[in-house]
Amino acid sequence: MDLPSLAVILQAALSPNPDERKAAEHSLDQFQFTPQHLVRLLQIIVDNNCDMAVRQAASIHFKNFIAKYWTPIDPNEQQKILPNDKNLVRENILPFVAQVPLLLRVQLGECLKTIIHADYPEQWPALLDWVKLNLQGQQVYGALFVLRILARKYEFKSEEERIPVSRIVEETFPCLLNIFSGLVQIVNPSLEVADLIKLICKIFWSSIYLEIPKQLLDQIVFDGWMALFLIVLERPVPLEGQPMDPELRKSWGWWKVKKWTVHILNRLYTRFGDIKLRNPENRAFAQIFQKNYAGKILECHLNLLNAIRVGGYLPDRVTNLILQYLSSSITKNSMYNLLQPQLGILLFEIVFPLMCFNDNDQKLWDEDPHEYVRKGYDIIEDLYSPRTAAMDFVSELVRKRAKENLQKFIQFIVEIFKRYDEVPVEYKSYRQKDGALLAVGALCDKLKQTEPYKSELERMLVQHVFPEFNSPVGHLRAKAAWVAGQYAHISFSDQNNFRSALHCVVSGLRDPELPVRVDSVFALRSFVEACRDLNEIRPILPQLLDEIFKLMNEVENEDLVFTLETIVDKFGEEMAPYALGLCQNLAAAFWRCMNTAENDDEADDPGALAAVGCLRAISTILESVSRLPHLFVQIEQTLLPIMRRMLTTDGQEVFEEVLEIVSYMTFFSPTISLDMWSLWPLMAEALADWAIDFFPNILVPLDNYISRGTAHFLACKEPDYQQSLWNMISTIMADKNLEDNDIEPAPKLIQVVFQNCRGQVDHWTEPYLRITVDRLRQTEKSHLKCLLMEVIADALYYNASLTLGILHKLGVATEVFNLWFQLLQQVRKSGLMANFKREHDKKVCCLGLTSLLGLPADQLPGEALGRVFRANLDLLVAYKDQVAEAAKEEDADVDDDMDGFQTDDDDDEGDGFDKEMGEDEDGDEADSLRLQKLAAQARALRANDDDDDDDTDDDFSDDEELQSPIDEVDPFVFFVDTVKVMQASDPLRFQNLTQTLDFHYQARANGVAQHAEQRRAEIEKEKLEKASAAVAST
C-alpha cells in the first residue's frame, strides 16, 4: 500500500461514521503485516505536510503494533515484523524524535522504550554511538531523550544485568557534564534550557538509582557533578513565566528541575551517603559525601523551606523531599548539630504550619468531599504529601532526640490548646487546633509509653479532644474522631470516658459531613477492638451496620470494610441474624467497586482495593457462622453471581479471595448444591488456561467437592467430574515445563480420590499410578518424590492387590519400592527422618505398607515381607515420637499462655513412652525437632521465598489442617489387626517372619502392640464420651 492510500485509510479510521471507521480498521488489520508497513506509518508520523489528526492516528497504530509484535511473547512464535523492517525503523526513528510535536514524541518515546528494552545492546549496538555523536552535534535534545530511555532500562536491574551501564556512563557522561555546565551558565535561560537540564537529571537518577557507577566514584568527576547540582539547588527559580494555576505551576519546567535535583541529592544521601549503611568498598564515598556535601545540601534545603515561612511558593513534592532529607539527618550527630540552631524556627514556623488544616484542604472539603476522603486515605498521596513528611519529621525528632525536643514540642501543643480554650469563639484558631490534634495523634506511640505524658493522656483526651466532637467546624469533628481512635486502646481509669468517646464516635457516623462520617467509622474499628464490654455496642449493632453500609454506598475504601470485619470478628456467631444481610450488602458493594475499577485505568484505584476488601469481609462472615450450616444455604444465592463471574478471566485480580469463598461454601454447607457444582468447570477451565499459580488455592474446593460430595462426583456424567479431574491432573503432571512446586497439588488430589472413593475408582488406579511413576522419574526434589510416593501408599491402602499388580504390569515395582525404602532410611544429622517429615506423611506411608502385609504369600514373598514389616515398625515409632512431641509442645504453649514461662521439669515428660517403645530417645533429638519446627514456622512466614530449599515443607503445612477419611484410622490399631489376620490365616508365615527379626525389632514390635491396645482403649473411651455428649445436648 502506498503512502497516500494509507493516509486515506487512517483518516477514515477517525470517521464519526461507525461503518467507515470499522472498514478502515479492517483494512489496517489486513495490511499490518505487509513488508514496510511500519516504515510507511513512520513516514506519515514525521511528515509535517500531513494532517495532524492523521499523524496522531498513525502514531497510535505504530505504537500499539510495536508493543504487541516487536518481541513475541512466545520465543518459538514466528516473528511478525521482518528483520529488514526492524532495521529500517531503528535507523529512521531516531532523527525525528526531537523534531515531531510533543503529542507525537510521547508515542514515539513509548515505541523507543519497547525497541530499546528488546534490542539493546545485542540487536542495536550502534545506538550508543548515535547518542554520543548527537550529544556533540545539533540533535542534543533528541540524544538526551533517547539516552534517558536507555538509562531507564537499567534503573531497577540487578548488578549482573547492569553491566552495560558502565559503558553508557563512560561514553556519555563526560559530554553530559559539559552540556550541563554550559546550560547552567546561560544568563536568563529559556524554558527549553530547563527541559534539557531535567533530562540530564533524569539520566543521572536512573544511572545511580541502585548503585553508583565506578566512573562517578572518581572524586574529580563527582565533584564536577555535585557543583552543578548545588548551583541548581541554590539558584532561585525564575519568576518570569511561572503559571498562576497551582496544577500548572508545580509542573512548570524550572520547578521540575528543582524537584529532580532534590530527588537526586536525597538518593545519594540516604542510599550512599550514610557510613553505617554502606558496605566497606563504598564507605570511603560515604565519608567524602558526609564531609563535603551533606551539610551544604542541608543549608540549601533550609533556605528553600524558608520560602514557606515568608509566604512564598514551594511545590508540595519538593517540600516533601526536603523534609525527608531532614528526617534522615536527625540521627547523625554532625548533621543534627547543623540543624539544631534553626530547629525552633523549623519546627514551630515551618513544619507545624504544614500539619495544620489549610485553604486547599478547605476548598477540597467544600467542593469535593469524596476526593478529600480519597486523598486522606491514599498511601500514594502520603508518599508525596508535605503534611505526611512533616508528621514523619516530628515523629523522628521526638523518637530519636526526645531529651531535647519532646517536652519542648508538647509544651508548644499545650499552649495552642490553652489559647484555643481561652479566646472567644470568633477568635478561635480552628486550623491550629486541627494541627495540634494531628500532632497528638501522630505521636501516640511515643506518648503512650513515656511518662509523665502517659499518665496524662486520659485527661488530655477529655479536656482537648472529646469536646471537639461537638465542634461547629467539620474538620475538627473529624480530627477528634481520628485522635480518639488512636488512643482507644489506652487504659481508661474512668470507663465512662471510654463509653462517652465511643458514643461520640457512633454519633459521628450520622454527621452531615462525609469526611467526619468516614473518620468516625475508622475510629470505631479501634473502639470495637478495645471494647471490654460488648454490651456497650450490642444494643446498637444493627444501626452501626446500617450506617457502615450507607457509607460504603457513598465511598469505596477498603478501610471501611476493615471496620466491618473487626465487628464481625469480635461478635462471632452473634452475627448470625445479620449474616445474610451483611453478605447481600457486601455483594452489592463489591459489584459497585468492580464497576468503578473497570472504568478506571489507575492500578492503585481504591475501588479495586475495596472490592478485594468486600470479598475478605464475606469470608470473615462465613468463618464466623461456620458452625451454623443452615445459613450457608441462605447466603449461597447472593454469592453465586460473584463466584460465577469471578472464576473467569474477569476475576483474575480477586481470584484468590473468590476461591476462599468457594472453599467455605463447599465445606460448611449442609450439602454441596448443584449450583455450587456448576463452578467446578469454571475452575478447571481457569486452571487449564491461566490460573496455574492458583493451583494450591483451587485444590481446597476440589478436595471439598470430592470428599463431601463423593456420590455426585462418582455418579455424574454430565459433566463427567472424574474425567475432568483426570484431564487437570494428567495435563499438569505431564508438563515438563512446570516446576515441581507448581504440580504439588496434583498428586494431593489423586490422594483425595483414593482416600475418599475406596473400592469405587478401580478403573482410574492404573492411569493415576502411571502418571505418578512417570513424574517420579523426572523429579529431582525430595519433597515431590515423597508426595508422589504417598500417592502409591494411598493406592496400596485403597487396594493393595490391585496396586501391586499394576506396578508389576508397568515393570516398576522393584524400582518404586527400592526408592521408597531409600527415602525412608535417609536421616538428618539429628537422627530424625530426612523425608516424610509431617505426621500425615508418616501415617499415609504406614497405612500403605501395612496394607501390603495383608497380601497373601504369592504376592508378597518372605524376603519382601520382612523388609516391609521392619520399615513399618520404624515408621510407627517415628510417627509416635512426633505425635508425642507435638502434644508436649501444645501443652507447653498452653503453659506459656497461662504462666508466661515453662519450667525445666516439663522436659521430663514423655519418658514413659520411650521405654514402652523399647528405647530411650536422645534429648538432643527432641530439642532438634522442636528447633526444626520453629524454623519451619519462620520459613512459612517468609512466604516461601526459598523455593529451592527442600526443607521449606518441613513439619508445618496447611495440609495438616485438612480433613480426610484416614483421620479416623489409627495406624497402630490397623497394623496390629492386619498382623493378627496374617497370624491367623498363615501361622507358619508369621512364625518365619518373627524369627527373622533381631532383638531390636522384636522390642519395637512388642512396644507397638502394647501401644495399639492402649490406643484402642482410648478410642473406645472417646466414642463413649462423644455419645454421652450427644445425648446430653438433646
| pLDDT (mean) for 432-460 | 94
The reply to whether 112 falls in a domain is no
- Kindly state the average pLDDT of the residues 68-72: 87
pLDDT of 435 higher than 50: yes
Instruction: Residue 393: name the closest of 305, 303, 334 by CA.
Output: 305
* Cell, residue 477: 469533628
Q: Which of these, 384, 322, 377, 328, lies nearest to 350 by C-alpha position?
A: 322
Three-state secondary structure call for residue 661? helix
* 930, pLDDT greater than 50: no
- The answer to the question of residue 613 being in a domain is no
491 sits in the region (left: phi over 0; alpha: psi -120 to 50; else beta) called beta
Looking at the domain assignment, is residue 22 inside a domain? yes
Q: What is the pLDDT of residue 448?
A: 94
In angstroms, the CA 56 to CA 40 distance is 14
Domain count along the chain:
1
Q: How far is CA 295 from CA 26, 270, 333, 351, 1009, in A?
A: 63, 14, 12, 20, 79
Predicted local confidence at residue 285, as pLDDT: 87
How many Cα atoms occupy the beta-carbon half-sphere of 490 within 13 Å?
28
Average pLDDT for residues 552-573, to the nearest whole number? 88
Query: If you write DSSP's letter for every residue of 103-157 in order, what string do you get?
Result: HHHHHHHHHHHHHHHHHTTTT-TTHHHHHHHHHTSS-HHHHHHHHHHHHHHTTT-
* Neighbouring C-beta atoms of residue 257, cutoff 10 Å: 24
- The mean pLDDT value for 208-220 works out to 92
Place of cell 447472593: 638
Residue 920 has pLDDT above 50, yes or no: no
Question: Which own/partner pairs from 147-150 qualify as long-range (CB within 8 Å, at least 24 positions apart)?
Answer: 147/172, 147/176, 147/199, 147/203, 148/199, 148/202, 148/203, 148/206, 149/109, 149/112, 149/113, 149/116, 150/116, 150/120
Contact 457, 448 (CB under 8 A): yes
Q: Is residue 209 part of a domain?
A: no
> What pLDDT, on the 0 to 100 scale, is given for residue 1026?
85
pLDDT the model gives residue 606: 62
pLDDT value of residue 601: 53
946 has a pLDDT exceeding 70: no
| pLDDT score, position 743 | 93
Nearest to 479 by CA among 397, 356, 389, 385: 356
Task: Indicate whether 926 pLDDT > 70.
Answer: no
Structural domain span for residue 26: 1-90
Residue pair 291/262 in contact (Cβ under 8 Å)? The answer is no
% of the chain exceeding 90 in pLDDT? 71
- Tell whether the model's pLDDT for residue 853 goes beyond 90: yes
Rounded Cα–Cα distance for residues 914 and 927 (Å): 15
Question: What mean pLDDT is predicted for residues 101-120?
Answer: 93
Write the single-letter amino acid at 748: K
User: At residue 803, what are phi and psi to the nearest 5 degrees?
Assistant: -65, -45
CB 729 within 8 A of CB 750: yes
pLDDT tens digits, one per residue of 190-201: 999 999 999 999
Average pLDDT value over all residues in the chain:
89
Sequential DSSP letters for 374-408: HHHT-HHHHHH-HHHHHHHHHHHHHHHSHHHHHHH
Distances (CA, A) of 132 to 118, 124, 140, 164, 751: 21, 14, 10, 15, 64
Q: Which pLDDT belongs to residue 962?
A: 62
Look at 898 and 765; give whichever has higher pLDDT: 765
State which amino acid sits at residue 812: V
Q: pLDDT by residue (tens digit) across 1-47?
A: 678 888 888 888 888 988 888 998 888 888 888 888 888 999 999 99
* C-alpha distance across the termini of the chain, in Å: 86
CA-based nearest residue to 792, from 823, 816, 760 = 816
Highest mean pLDDT: which of 93-102, 937-946, 1023-1032?
A: 93-102
Residue 28's pLDDT is what? 84
Give the pLDDT score at 466: 97
User: Given a cut of 80, is residue 897 above it in pLDDT?
Assistant: no
- What percent of the chain has pLDDT above 70? 91
Q: Residue 928: pLDDT above 60?
A: no
Instruction: List, in sequence order, the alpha helices (H) in 246-368.
Output: 246-250, 253-267, 280-289, 295-309, 316-329, 333-339, 343-345, 352-355, 359-367
State residue 202 phi and psi, 5-degree precision. -65, -40
Residue 280: predicted pLDDT: 66
3-state secondary structure of 918: coil
* 41 within domain boundaries: yes
pLDDT at 1005 over 80: yes
| Least confident span in 155-169, 404-418, 462-476, 714-728 | 155-169
3-state helix, strand, coil in the chain (%, to 5): 75, 0, 20
**pLDDT over 70 at 666, yes or no:** yes
DSSP state of 720: B
Q: Give the position of cell 484555643.
A: 420
Average pLDDT over residues 239-261: 92
> Is the distance from CB of 840 to CB of 793 less than 8 angstroms?
no
What's 960's DSSP letter? Answer: G
Judged by DSSP in three states, 74 sits in coil
Enumerate the β-bridge partners of residue 971. none
Q: What is the Cα–Cα distance from 610 to 594, expressed in whole angstroms?
A: 9
* Residue 400 grid cell: 530519636
Whether 456 is in a domain gets the answer no
Tell me the three cell numbers of residue 993: 517372619
Contact 849, 878 (CB under 8 A): no
pLDDT value, residue 938: 35
Residues in the chain: 1034
pLDDT band at residue 909, thresholds of 50, 70 and 90? Answer: very low
Domain annotation covers residue 70: yes
* Identity of residue 363: K
Kindly state the average pLDDT of the residues 337-363.
95
Most confidently predicted of 245-249, 970-974, 1020-1024:
970-974
Mean pLDDT value of segment 887-905: 55
Specify the range with the lowest mean pLDDT, choosing from 71-80, 220-229, 250-259: 71-80
User: What's the pLDDT at 786?
Assistant: 96
The C-alpha cell that represents 154 in the structure block: 537499567
A 10 A CB-CB count for 344 gives: 11
Contact (CB, 8 A) for 617 and 569? no
* pLDDT for residue 896: 54
916 or 876: whose pLDDT is higher?
876
Highest-confidence segment of 541-550, 765-774, 995-1004 = 765-774
pLDDT digits (tens, 9 = 90+) for 592-625: 888 876 666 554 556 677 888 899 999 999 999 9
What does the pLDDT average to over 649-676?
A: 95
The pLDDT assigned to 895 comes to 55
Q: Would you state the pLDDT for residue 190?
A: 93
How is residue 701 annotated by DSSP? H
Helix (H) or strand (E) holding 746: helix 745-756
158 pLDDT exceeds 60? yes
What pLDDT does residue 810 have?
Answer: 96
Closest CA to 881 of 930, 951, 936: 930
- Residue 310 C-alpha cell reads as 515568608
The full DSSP string for 557-621 is -HHHHHHHHHHHHHHGGGGHHHHHHHHHHHHHHHHHHHHHHHT---TT-HHHHHHHHHHHHHHHH
Arithmetic mean of pLDDT, 677-701: 96
Q: Is the pLDDT score of 1025 beyond 60? A: yes
- Mean pLDDT score, 746-772: 97
**Given this model, what pLDDT does residue 378 score?**
81
Mean pLDDT of 832-838: 91
62 inside domain? yes
Cβ contact 836:842 at 8 Å: yes
